[in-house]
């Protein structure tokens, strides 16, 4: 017996049901109510990557400013 794939995912980013065609990431574990897989839709996945890049840049700038202040250069 072949198990049929669900056609929907539950996006953890926007907390809504999306078609698997809209999914960028689908987790193999952590099924919502054992029938609908968890994941991230394309829009939420891209927003998350953009936020990660922004935070990495901000952290690097903060570290640089702190070192300059601490060492007076």
Cα distances from 2 to residues 5, 13, 29, 33, in angstroms, run: 9, 30, 18, 20
The end-to-end CA distance of the chain, in Å, is 69
When pLDDT is cut at 50, 70 and 90, the band that residue 16 belongs to is very high
Predicted model pTM? 0.57
What does the pLDDT read at residue 18? 92
Dihedrals φ, ψ of 30, to 5°?
80, 45
Cα distances from 35 to residues 18, 30, 40, 51, in angstroms, run: 14, 10, 16, 30
User: In this structure, is the dihedral angle defined by the CA atoms of residues 67, 68, 72 and 73, taken in order, positive or negative?
Assistant: positive
What does the pLDDT read at residue 50? 79
């Amino acid at each position: 017996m072949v198990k049929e794939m669900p056609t929907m995912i539950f996006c953890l980013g926007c907390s809504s049901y999306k078609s698997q065609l809209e999914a960028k990431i689908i987790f193999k574990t952590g099924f919502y109510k054992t029938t609908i897989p968890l994941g991230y839709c394309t829009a939420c996945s891209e927003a998350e990557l953009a936020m990660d890049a922004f935070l990495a840049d901000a952290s690097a700038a903060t570290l640089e400013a702190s070192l300059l202040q601490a060492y007076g250069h």
